[in-house]
Amino acid sequence: MKGIVEERAAMLGEYIIESKATVRTAARKFGISKSTVHKDVSQRLKSINPTLYKEVREILETNKSERHIRGGIATREKYLLKRECFKPENR
């Protein structure tokens, strides 16, 4: 079982680097929880492959610094869609 977890951590790290994915996106792609992804790339990967770990941390730090922007865009789109649904010509 231990080899599988280490292999998954490395695969997650490579996926995050290649696609600049968020923890949430990686979790969805691999069918595991966000907390598992986070533990794999922040704890397990550090001891398995320190170089890969550093690259993944940089991407995750970038994602973290941009999350408020993505959240704002999602909220804006949500309300624009609501507004479109309630226009008089759509009723």
CB of 41 closer than 8 Å to CB of 53: yes
Residue 89, domain member (yes or no):
no
Q: In this structure, which amino acid lies at residue 56?
A: V
Task: Round to whole Å and give the CA distance between 56 and 16.
Answer: 7
Res 91: pLDDT: 54
Q: In the block, which residue shows the tokens 């941009």?
A: 66
Cβ neighbours of residue 91 closer than 8 Å, sequence gap 6 or more: none
Model confidence over 20-49: pLDDT tens digits? 999 999 999 999 999 999 999 999 999 999
Residue given tokens 């320190």 in the structure block: 50
Q: Residue 88 domain-assigned? A: no
Reported as a single tens digit per residue, the pLDDT across 64-88 is 888 777 778 888 888 888 888 877 6
Q: How many CB atoms lie within 10 A of CB 40?
A: 24
- Residue 79: inside a domain: no
Answer yes or no: is 44 within a domain.
yes
Domain-located, residue 80: no
Task: State the sign of the Cα–Cα–Cα–Cα dihedral 57, 62, 68, 73.
Answer: negative
Structural domain includes residue 22: yes
Report yes or no on 74 lying in a domain: no
The pTM of this model reads 0.73
Range of the domain at 13: 2-65
Total domain count, the chain = 1
Does residue 61 lie within any of the structural domains?
Answer: yes
